[in-house]
């Protein structure tokens, strides 16, 4: 197309200069009629050639216009649709039931100095195995497709904490007020000779709240990305448990591992409801305090 337009422009320029020459030539030769009719005929021949050239150029110009008119208009460029940002991160709030594999011991609920209080009939004892828990956590999306290994399988990092309470029990002998020990009680443990003391008035048994705080960090594998229902598993994670009361050696920390599984459902917009179950394993007791056990409950999540 550009070549044709250039050719037409050059042709028009040639014709323009030729016409100018034709118009000037008759005036130059007007006074020289004696030169003969041969020159007049030559001029007429040039005029006819230029007329033929103009008609040819007009035809090419008409053809170019017709081609331009018949050419389809270019399709409009459509902008790509704006996709809503996927909200794969989540903050969630948990609660439910917990149970330990063993009853909790501790410096204020069990003492090797006084032995097993329940066996001696003294105040105090071990905690209940069952507990309630509350907690919260954060999921942070790392990969949408397991780094290209599994389509629709999301990898997340989870950080979570939870608080468990096993109830209130009576403290051991060493945590009681002195006036709470009656004479026969002292005689029973051999603290004084038999018959040398009398019951002491007053005093009150001190109670102890048995609880535990747990902080975990773990990878989470979540399936069926893009669907409303999404199951997940935690193959293994790190857990740090803080116990109260502490052990007899005043140990409060007990590290271990955690395994978990669950699922959540998108109930509305970026609000999710889910259930989960987790098991905490420490491998050994921390100076007599065992924190192995499981939790099971539900959670409410908010995507962001």
The answer to which of 167-181, 189-203, 243-257, 276-290 has the lowest mean pLDDT is 189-203
Say if residue 108 is in the same domain as residue 236: yes
- Residues 285 and 6: their CA atoms lie apart, in Å, by 94
- Residues 46 and 139: their CA atoms lie apart, in Å, by 90
Say if residue 63 is in the same domain as residue 94: no
What is the mean pLDDT of the segment spanning 55-63? 82
Cα separations in angstroms, 271 against 83, 159, 234, 303: 20, 19, 22, 6
pLDDT reading at 67 higher than 50: yes
Say if residue 159 is in the same domain as residue 28: no
pLDDT reading at 76 higher than 70: no
What is the mean pLDDT of the segment spanning 100-117? 69
Residues contacting residue 18 through CB under 8 Å, at least 6 positions apart: 46, 50
What is the mean pLDDT of the segment spanning 265-277? 96
Q: Are 258 and 266 in contact (CB under 8 A)?
A: no
Say if residue 27 is in the same domain as residue 132: no
Looking at residue 118, its pLDDT comes to: 41
Say if residue 54 is in the same domain as residue 97: no
Could you list the residue range(s) of the whole structural domain that residue 53 is in? 2-70
Based on DSSP, count helices (H) and strands (E) in the chain, helices before strands: 4, 8
Q: Are 303 and 87 in contact (CB under 8 A)?
A: yes
Phi, psi of 41 (to 5 degrees): -65, -40
Picking from 70, 99, 122, the residue at the C-terminal end of a domain is 70
pLDDT reading at 26 higher than 60: no
> How many domains, the chain?
2
- The dihedral sign for the CA sequence 98, 102, 103, 109: negative
Looking at residue 70, its pLDDT comes to: 76
User: Average pLDDT over the chain, rounded to whole?
Assistant: 78
- Cis upstream peptide for 245 (omega within 30°): yes
Q: E strands within the chain?
A: 90-100, 130-143, 154-170, 207-222, 229-244, 253-268, 271-281, 293-303
pLDDT tens string 170-224: 766 555 555 544 445 555 555 555 554 444 434 455 778 899 999 999 999 999 9
pLDDT reading at 23 higher than 80: no
- Residues 172 and 206: their CA atoms lie apart, in Å, by 8
Within a domain: 84: no
Q: What is the pTM of this model?
A: 0.64
**What angle do the packed helices 37-70 and 2-30 form, to 10 degrees?**
160
pLDDT reading at 120 higher than 50: no
- Residues 15 and 32: their CA atoms lie apart, in Å, by 26
- Residues 281 and 259: their CA atoms lie apart, in Å, by 8
Give the model's confidence band at 111: pLDDT under 50 very low, under 70 low, under 90 confident, else very high: low
Residues contacting residue 64 through CB under 8 Å, at least 6 positions apart: 1, 4, 5, 8
Say if residue 61 is in the same domain as residue 208: no
Query: What percentage of the chain reaches a pLDDT higher than 70?
Result: 66
- First and final CA of the chain: distance in angstroms? 55
Residues contacting residue 236 through CB under 8 Å, at least 6 positions apart: 218, 257, 258, 259
Looking at residue 123, its pLDDT comes to: 43
Q: 42: which 2 tokens?
A: 């030559």
Q: E strands within 127-206?
A: 130-143, 154-170
Say if residue 60 is in the same domain as residue 112: no
Best CA proximity match to 98, nearest among 299, 297, 303, 298: 297
Within a domain: 76: no
Looking at residue 230, its pLDDT comes to: 97
What is the mean pLDDT of the segment spanning 111-120? 49
Within a domain: 144: yes
Phi, psi of 115 (to 5 degrees): 80, -160
Looking at residue 37, its pLDDT comes to: 72
Give the model's confidence band at 268: pLDDT under 50 very low, under 70 low, under 90 confident, else very high: very high
Say if residue 33 is in the same domain as residue 96: no
pLDDT reading at 115 higher than 70: no
Looking at residue 49, its pLDDT comes to: 83
pLDDT tens string 41-56: 777 788 788 888 888 8
Looking at residue 78, its pLDDT comes to: 64
Within a domain: 80: no
Looking at residue 44, its pLDDT comes to: 78
Within a domain: 269: yes
Say if residue 168 is in the same domain as residue 268: yes
Say if residue 233 is in the same domain as residue 152: yes
Looking at residue 263, its pLDDT comes to: 98
More confident residue, 262 or 286: 262
Within a domain: 155: yes
CATH number of the CATH domain containing 121: 2.40.160.20
- 3-state secondary structure (DSSP) of residue 261: strand
Say if residue 195 is in the same domain as residue 284: yes
Say if residue 128 is in the same domain as residue 266: yes
């Amino acid at each position: 197309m550009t070549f044709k337009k250039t050719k037409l422009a050059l042709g028009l320029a040639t014709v323009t200069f030729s016409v100018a020459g034709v118009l000037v030539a008759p005036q130059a030769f007007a006074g020289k009629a004696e030169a003969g009719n041969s020159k007049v005929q030559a001029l007429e021949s040039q005029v006819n050639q230029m007329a033929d050239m103009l008609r040819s150029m007009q035809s090419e110009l008409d053809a170019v216009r017709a081609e331009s008119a018949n050419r389809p208009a270019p399709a409009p460029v459509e902008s790509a649709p704006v996709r809503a940002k996927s909200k794969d991160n989540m903050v969630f709030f948990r609660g439910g039931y917990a149970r330990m594999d063993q009853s909790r011991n501790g410096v204020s609920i069990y003492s090797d100095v006084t032995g097993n209080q329940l066996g001696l009939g003294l105040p105090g004892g071990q905690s209940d195995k069952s507990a309630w828990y509350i907690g919260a956590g954060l999921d942070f999306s790392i990969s949408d497709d397991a780094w290209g290994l599994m389509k629709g399988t999301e990898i997340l990092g989870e950080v979570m904490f939870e608080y468990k309470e096993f109830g209130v029990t009576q403290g051991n002998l060493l945590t009681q007020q002195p006036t709470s020990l009656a004479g026969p009680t002292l005689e029973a443990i051999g603290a004084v000779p038999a018959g040398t003391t009398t019951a002491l008035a007053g005093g009150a048994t001190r109670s102890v709240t048995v609880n535990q705080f747990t902080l975990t960090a773990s990878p989470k594998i979540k399936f069926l990305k893009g669907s409303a229902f999404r199951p997940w598993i935690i193959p293994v994670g790190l857990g740090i448990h803080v116990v109260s009361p502490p052990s007899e050696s005043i140990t409060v920390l007990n590290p271990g591992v955690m395994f978990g599984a669950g699922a959540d459902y998108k109930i509305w917009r970026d609000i999710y409801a889910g259930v989960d179950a987790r098991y905490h394993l420490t491998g050994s007791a921390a100076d007599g305090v065992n924190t192995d056990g499981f939790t099971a409950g539900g959670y409410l999540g908010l995507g962001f």
